[in-house]
Amino acid sequence: YQRFIKDHLPYGVTLSGGEPTAQWNFYFELLKGLKYFDFPTAVETNGSSPQFITSLPYLDLVFCDIKHFNSEIHKKLVGEDNKQVLYNIKKTYEAGKDLWIEIPVIPGYNDLEENFQDIADFLSPMKNGLKVELLKYGRHGIYKWRALGKNYPLLHLRPPSNRKMIALSKIIKNKGIKVDIS
């Protein structure tokens, strides 16, 4: 294991997956072990775990999604409201961790300017040490649904235009927040 540590320590470890915190005990113990050996650590999370903030001492960087700012709409889209997500984002920032917010832009679901204005207003007090990435909806996963013999429920959607992505990014940039488009 010492060779592994020597070879990999400079690069760090990012926990992702589906949702890494869904396997809480493994996630938490792995983070503690990685920090014991001084590995830089990161997690890609949806931010919904009530226990998440207890893992902050073992994290250097957090990637977290905001799928929609309105809690009721968020619940319709993903099955639960976003109160825990927003709380965890705020606590991550307060803990001084590097924070990257990822926002999937899905036409007809979360691409209204009002939603992005609400997100920008929420993130504005956290702009130092914060980065936002707008993720353009893509149809890359359709083949997986077909391979499983299932109908893809968003088949009718097309990716947002570059013009739309730029307009949404400007809403966030106008609050002094760094934004990238992917």
98's enclosing H/E stretch is strand 98-105
Residues 6+ apart with CB under 8 A from 51: 21, 24, 28
pLDDT at 8: 72
Residue 159 lies in a domain: yes
CATH number at residue 134: 3.20.20.70
Contact criterion met (CB below 8 Å) for 15 and 34? no
pLDDT at 107: 97
Residue 114 lies in a domain: yes
Q: How confident is the model at residue 28 (pLDDT cuts 50, 70, 90)?
A: very high
Secondary structure of residue 65 in the 3-state scheme: strand
Q: Is the pTM of this model over 0.95?
A: no
Residue 26 lies in a domain: no
When divided into structural domains, the chain yields a total of 1
Residue 101 lies in a domain: yes
Residue 131 lies in a domain: yes
Residue 1 lies in a domain: no
Identify the domain containing residue 130 by its residue range.
45-181
Residue 27 lies in a domain: no
The sign of the CA dihedral 37, 59, 31, 67 is negative
H helix intervals, the chain? 2-8, 24-36, 71-78, 83-94, 113-123, 142-147, 162-173
Q: How confident is the model at residue 69 (pLDDT cuts 50, 70, 90)?
A: very high
Q: How confident is the model at residue 2 (pLDDT cuts 50, 70, 90)?
A: confident
Q: How far apart are CA 103 and CA 66, in angstroms?
A: 5
